[in-house]
Every structure is written in C-alpha cells, then in structure tokens.
Amino acid sequence: MGEPFSPERAKKLVLQALDSGRVYFRPHAIRALADDKLNTVDAERAMRGGVAQPGELVSGEWRYQISTRRLTVVVTFLDPLHVVTCFAHKR
C-alpha cells in the first residue's frame, strides 16, 4: 500500500514504529520540543494517544500530523520513522 496513507493506517504504522523502537527524532524536532520545555517522551506519548490527520506532501515527502490537545508531532514514514518536528498548543 503506497502513500498517502489514511489517517487510520498512519496511526497504526506510528504505533508499530514506537513498539519496535524504530523512531528517529530529527535535530529540528528535538530543538522544537526543548523550546516548549518538552522532550522525546512527551512526543512519544502524543504519538500513542493522538489522532492522525491526512498526509500532506511537503518537500517531496509525505508528512502526517499526530495531535493531542497539548502537542502535535509531525512524522514521515522512512525507515526508521522520522519525527520531523513538534509543536505545543498554546493555552
């Protein structure tokens, strides 16, 4: 099954990557988390509990947002799964 993935399929693939430990946080994502006083554990929790949105083609790669009320994590399905960026929702 090729991209773009449905939100349901994207969420399933994210959970599989988390369970297998095959997740890579790009430097930008780590900086973005730190700027919001968050870390990779927060991002992993958001990916487990969040809701996936339809993919968007950005710079030649499909990106998917996984969101909770607190945080959005943007991923792309490479091997391993890449976390592109993260951003906290301001209250």
How confident is the model over 4-47, as pLDDT tens digits?
999 999 999 999 999 999 999 999 999 999 999 999 999 999 99
How confident is residue 90, by pLDDT bands cut at 50, 70 and 90?
Answer: confident
Q: Domain total for the chain?
A: 1
Query: 5 — phi, psi (to 5°)?
Result: -90, 150
Q: What is the CATH number of the domain that holds 68?
A: 3.30.2310
Residue 33 lies in a domain: yes
Whether the per-residue pLDDT at 77 is higher than 80: the answer is yes
Residue numbers of the domain that contains 78: 7-88
